[in-house]
Structure 1
C-alpha cells in the first residue's frame, strides 16, 4: 500500500515537472517567434518603402 502511494506521488511530481518544462519551452518558443515576426515585419516595411 505504502509503495503504491509513493509510486503515484513520484509519478505525479514528474508529471508536474514535465508540465512546467513544457510551459517554459512554449514561452521560449513564443518569445522567439515574436522576435522573428518583428524582424520580418520590419524587413518587409523597409522593403516596401524602398521599392
Structure 2
C-alpha cells in the first residue's frame, strides 16, 4: 500500500485501546473472583471429606 492510500484509510477503523483494556480488566477480574468464590465454596466440603 502506498502512503497516500494508507492516509485515506486511517479513520475507517479506530481502536480505543483504553476502553478495550478497561473491558478486559473487568472480564479478568470477574472471572478470577468467580473462580476464587467457587474454590472457597468447595473448601469446607473438601475439608470435611478427610
TM-score interval (norm. to shorter): 0.5 to 0.7
Length-normalised TM-score, structure 1: 0.62
Question: Which structure's residues are more often helix, by fraction?
Answer: 1
The runs of 5 or more residues in structure 1 that have no matched partner are 45-51
**RMSD over equivalenced CA pairs, Å:** 1.4
Give every structure 1 segment of 4 or more consecutive aligned residues whose post-TM-superposition deviation is greater than 3 Å: none
Length-normalised TM-score, structure 2: 0.63
